[in-house]
Amino acid sequence: MVAEPTIIREGHPIRECRPYKVIFIGAGLLGIHFAARIQQYGPGIEAVVYERNPDVGGTWYNNTYPGVACDVPSHGYTLTWCPWGGWRRFQAPGEDCQRYALFAASKTNIRDITRFNTRVLSAKWDENAAEWTVELEDVNTGEKWTDSAPVLINGSGVLSKPKLPNLPGMEKFKGRQFHSAKWNKTPTSELKGMKVALVGAGSTSLQILPEIQKEAAHVDQYIRSETWVVTPFGADVRASFWGLDPVQAFTSDDESFSNPPYSEEHKDKLTNDSAFMHKHRKDILDSTNKMFANGLTEIDSEMRKQGEAMYVEMTKAKLVKRPDLLDLFLPKWSIGCRRLTPAVGYFNAITSDNVDAVRTSVVSVDETGLTGADGKHREYDCIIWSTGFDTSFYPSFSVTGRNGSQLYPVEARAYLTAHAENMPNYFTIGGPGLMSFNGDYLGGLEKILDHILRFVFKLQRERYQSVCVKTQNVIDFTAYIDEYLTRTVHGQNCSSWYKDGSRDGKVRAIWCGTSLHLYDALQQPCWEEFDWERYPHEQAGAARFNWLGNGRTRAELANGDFTWYIPEVNAGNIQVPTASDQTPLHDLYSF
């Protein structure tokens, strides 16, 4: 005779914050945000963060190449709960981004819960134990061990695996060669007098060239694919905040217009005047989000057509002495097909006497240099591979889910970017369908993590063993995104990391709307789109409601506020707001 499941009548309150473990991968800005949210809303959760670097910062710890900078306005690149008055310029150098990460980390307990210098080798779902077993390695000693937890969150970032080309002869080159993400703080002065090959034409290359051109004897930039070079974002905010001429703020390469510094007075006021800081942050992100709300990436958008026409004229003006380069920087595909590359000083650098644009791909390497697809061999003292990152959405470690399934077994697809099929209790912040060019990028990643934590807290507090998105919902959602993207420029014939570096592949790095649209979609999860499994002893009968506990709330048992539901209201001025005055509906679902 099977015993009846135990019904818990004593002990824990409703939605007990039972002891529960979560493993998080990565201590960049999202790892810091994770630590903050767990501190705020995660009683009972044992959070463990694994980070391969010696400190926090993620991409800003890794990338130290000359000219590295945030390509969006600084005050628009902060966690929503953590503004910072220390930014030195409107568009910050990478050093400031790392300083910001250190500042934000200091407000949380992330260093207490993180094991640094630790690489994740693999993760495997144990169906019997209902937990993830994670294989780990100390990057300094090579020691290997495992850890396990019911929940695994991958916050390692989509642009975290440098991608070197696999070309014959690379090991033979006698000079210096390295990937731009492995610069290791080498000063540009070490390139003095050298002949340098800079391979690539993405945003990193556009930041590097103006810096190394000042020191190297000669630089060949290998440009395989044409690209738009645009001015830094937020020209309207620059003009207003610094009292600049709007046209110069939009078109000038002079940093006093394109990337002005914050004065000490600015920084002091931004730090100590919360209303002043709030307005500046909102102005920047209002400008960013409006571009996309007004159709920046939509094929038939008048805004896109007008913006493209302006950039055509501006590019022609900046290349008036080098019309032979125009076809490189006036692509036949539209602005937004690939990631925009805002740059300061790039056109001055590419048209300098000691710089040549080599319009070919590289096919091989030998002891002295490179051979291009044009058949020419060129000799160099140093090769800088600015060839981007692995953007396939597959992490640097293997992930094995239910019934031996591998992560993204058919293609890189997910439901609401965070949920992969056959991966119980596994969540990804930068998964397929993320909003990499839809508006406020960091804000979007923050909202994705907040969405994930709603699942974590439901698992913990409502006594579920596992949750996994239904495969058909992943398929249907991917089809919906594909249909939406047909109205955008992202599918045009450009080489883009949105399509994993291809010209004609599927777009997998773009959300089906704006950033604000994503925020709304994530606020209230559609729990019915998932398979929820309870523990075996609580699957049937009245025991399914054990999460209700002993009939009391945590506040009652802690002798807390017994009337928290009574708002403070001025009885002499009672007003029921209209719908237009009401706070956004999604605020009702905040933590």
What is the tens place of the pLDDT at every residue in 454-463?
A: 999 999 999 9
The residue written with tokens 């058949």 in the block is 375
What average pLDDT does the segment 261-282 reach?
98
CATH architecture assigned to 20-160+391-533: 3-Layer(bba) Sandwich (3.50)
Q: What share of the chain is helix, strand, coil (3-state, %, to 5)?
A: 35, 20, 45
What average pLDDT does the segment 365-372 reach?
97
Report domain extents, the chain: 20-160+391-533, 199-385
The residue written with tokens 């630590």 in the block is 35
Which range has the worst mean pLDDT, 22-36, 219-233, 333-347?
333-347
Name the region of 295 (left: φ>0; alpha: ψ -120 to 50; beta: rest): left
Looking at residue 582, its pLDDT comes to: 55
| pLDDT of 7 strictly over 90 | no
pLDDT classification of 5: cutoffs 50, 70, 90: low
pLDDT classification of 347: cutoffs 50, 70, 90: very high
d(CA 550, CA 317): 74
User: Per-residue pLDDT tens for 427-448?
Assistant: 999 899 987 789 999 999 999 9
CA angle 372, 376, 380 (to 5 degrees): 80
Which range has the worst mean pLDDT, 25-34, 110-119, 247-256?
247-256
Contacts of 521 (CB under 8 A, 6+ apart): 416, 513
User: Per-residue pLDDT tens for 127-153?
Assistant: 999 999 999 999 999 999 999 999 999
What average pLDDT does the segment 85-101 reach?
96
Contacts of 132 (CB under 8 A, 6+ apart): 23, 123, 124, 125, 126, 148, 149, 150, 151, 152, 425, 426
Provide DSSP, 532-545: EEE-GGGSSGGGGG
What percentage of the chain exceeds 90 in pLDDT? 80
What average pLDDT does the segment 179-183 reach?
91
Looking at residue 171, its pLDDT comes to: 96
Looking at residue 8, its pLDDT comes to: 60
Beta strand 114-115 pairing with 45-50: parallel
Helix (H, G, I), strand (E, B) or coil at 472: helix
pLDDT classification of 1: cutoffs 50, 70, 90: very low
| pLDDT of 585 strictly over 70 | no
CB count, 10 Å around CB of 564?
Answer: 9
Looking at residue 3, its pLDDT comes to: 47
Helix (H) or strand (E) holding 257: helix 255-258
Q: Are 552 and 11 in contact (CB under 8 A)?
A: no
User: Per-residue pLDDT tens for 473-510?
Assistant: 999 999 999 999 999 999 999 988 898 888 888 999 99
Looking at residue 366, its pLDDT comes to: 97
pLDDT classification of 531: cutoffs 50, 70, 90: very high
Taking Cα atoms as reference points, which of 203, 23, 49, 51 lies closest to residue 119?
51
Encoded tokens for 200: 């690539």
Looking at residue 575, its pLDDT comes to: 86
Q: Are 381 and 196 in contact (CB under 8 A)?
A: yes
| pLDDT of 208 strictly over 50 | yes
Report the half-sphere exposure of 11 (CA within 13 A, side-chain side).
13
Mean per-residue pLDDT of the chain: 92
Q: pTM for the whole thing?
A: 0.94
Looking at residue 586, its pLDDT comes to: 53
Beta strand 369-372 pairing with 382-385: unpaired
User: Per-residue pLDDT tens for 544-580?
Assistant: 999 999 999 988 988 989 999 998 999 999 988 777 7
Between the two ends of the chain, the Cα-to-Cα distance in Å is 44
Looking at residue 292, its pLDDT comes to: 93
Looking at residue 354, its pLDDT comes to: 97
366 compared with 190, residue with greater pLDDT: 366
| pLDDT of 587 strictly over 60 | no
